[in-house]
Amino acid sequence: MLKRLASSFLMMGLVLCAVCAIATYQLSGGASQGEVLVFAGTAASPVYREIVALFESRYGVKVVVNLGGSGRLLSALEIARTGDIYISGSPEYLILAAQRGIVNFTASPPKVLAYLVPAIIVQKGNPANITKLEDLARPGVRVGMADPRSVCLGLYAMELLKENGLWEAVSNNIVVYAASCEATAQLVYVGAVDAVIGWHVFCYWNPDKADIVWIEPDRIPRVSYIAGAVTTFAKDKELAAKFLEFLASQDVQEIWKKYGYFVTIEEARARAPKSAFEELR
């Protein structure tokens, strides 16, 4: 109860911070000519930082990226009605954005950028000796998880545990619910938990601090993917679309691969051949 209550206050605060950041941005004049404002879930934080630098140097266009939990950013966008691109860590939040009129798939078709597979991420060397999902329910094992109310990863993790009949047992060991994908990964890197159910790429973000325990392929109900779309209130839709195209282009695929992302659905399905796949429509 206390974990949930603290998480609720934290989430309200994070949404307010995001709205305040947008308000400050608007008061300063918003996106100037030759500038793109992006709201992106943290499921690809290191990739965005590298690709943004490349895009800016190549085209002389400033890109401002506001990173956070996909749900928190969606709420902030709905309130402020500004920003050029919305990128979520799973298709569900992008579909929700379309339902709320924040993006329009007909006017600006969405782009799939990379694919994600759920995995168990543990501390380097795996000191808790976690080898399978059931080990997350062992007494004394500290588990971290993304908040399923606002972070797509949390929804996938909860679904994974419920599908395998482990939600109640593992939830007793969850010591913290994180507010974003990046915050979830950090729990392992700093040793705050023994393991998280995260995206497989968390291991590649910081290989000196984390190891990966792949989940048995037939136990993964769904794979996810990062996708984005130009918002309905983008100031320069052509420029916003150009940056989104760049994120999905062959030019930057090696950057995605460097951080462990799968760039085709076939690669992701190899790790989860029986998984479902949410379509954008």
Report the pLDDT value the prediction gives residue 33, as an integer from 0 to 100: 54
Q: Is the pLDDT of residue 53 over 90?
A: yes
Pair 160, 220: CB distance under 8 Å: yes
Please indicate, yes or no, whether residues 105 and 241 belong to a single structural domain of this protein. Answer: yes
Query: Within a domain: residue 280?
Result: no
Report the pLDDT value the prediction gives residue 99, as an integer from 0 to 100: 96
Last residue of a domain, one of 200, 219, 238: 219
Please indicate, yes or no, whether residues 98 and 234 belong to a single structural domain of this protein. Answer: yes
pLDDT digits (tens, 9 = 90+) for 129-144: 999 999 999 999 999 9
Residue 5: what residue type?
A: L
Q: Is the pLDDT of residue 147 over 50?
A: yes
Better-predicted residue by pLDDT, 279 or 231? 231
Q: Is the pLDDT of residue 260 over 70?
A: yes
Looking at every residue in the chain, the average pLDDT score rounds to 89
Query: Within a domain: residue 167?
Result: yes
Confidence tier at 50 by pLDDT (50, 70, 90): very high
Centre a 10 Å sphere on the Cβ of residue 64 and count the other Cβ atoms it contains.
14
Report the pLDDT value the prediction gives residue 241, as an integer from 0 to 100: 97
Query: Within a domain: residue 89?
Result: yes
Q: How far apart are CA 114 and CA 253, in angstroms?
A: 9
Mean pLDDT for 243-251 is 95
Report the pLDDT value the prediction gives residue 16, as an integer from 0 to 100: 39
Query: Within a domain: residue 141?
Result: yes
Please indicate, yes or no, whether residues 190 and 135 belong to a single structural domain of this protein. Answer: yes
Query: Within a domain: residue 278?
Result: no
Please indicate, yes or no, whether residues 229 and 103 belong to a single structural domain of this protein. Answer: yes
Report the pLDDT value the prediction gives residue 180, as an integer from 0 to 100: 94
Please indicate, yes or no, whether residues 128 and 198 belong to a single structural domain of this protein. Answer: yes
Please indicate, yes or no, whether residues 10 and 102 belong to a single structural domain of this protein. Answer: yes
pLDDT digits (tens, 9 = 90+) for 30-42: 444 589 999 999 9
Query: Within a domain: residue 279?
Result: no
Mean pLDDT for 145-169 is 96
Please indicate, yes or no, whether residues 215 and 229 belong to a single structural domain of this protein. Answer: no
Please indicate, yes or no, whether residues 233 and 267 belong to a single structural domain of this protein. Answer: yes
Q: Is the pLDDT of residue 28 over 90?
A: no
Total structural domains within the chain: 2
Q: Among residues of the chain, what percentage have pLDDT more than 90?
A: 84
Query: Within a domain: residue 209?
Result: yes
Q: Is the pLDDT of residue 10 over 50?
A: no
Please indicate, yes or no, whether residues 76 and 150 belong to a single structural domain of this protein. Answer: no
Query: Within a domain: residue 15?
Result: yes
Poorest-pLDDT segment among 13-22, 34-43, 146-155: 13-22
User: Which residues constitute the domain of residue 196?
Assistant: 118-219
Please indicate, yes or no, whether residues 160 and 27 belong to a single structural domain of this protein. Answer: no
Please indicate, yes or no, whether residues 231 and 189 belong to a single structural domain of this protein. Answer: no
In the numeric block, which tokens belong to residue 7?
Answer: 């998480």
Poorest-pLDDT segment among 107-116, 195-204, 212-221, 269-278: 269-278
Report the pLDDT value the prediction gives residue 278, as an integer from 0 to 100: 83
Instruction: Name the pTM for this structure.
Output: 0.87
Which CATH number characterizes residue 83's domain? 3.40.190.10
Please indicate, yes or no, whether residues 142 and 209 belong to a single structural domain of this protein. Answer: yes
Confidence tier at 25 by pLDDT (50, 70, 90): very low
Last residue of a domain, one of 201, 219, 237: 219
Mean pLDDT for 205-229 is 97
Mean pLDDT for 177-184 is 96
Report the pLDDT value the prediction gives residue 281, as an integer from 0 to 100: 75
Confidence tier at 279 by pLDDT (50, 70, 90): confident
Q: Is the pLDDT of residue 207 over 70?
A: yes
Better-predicted residue by pLDDT, 14 or 105? 105
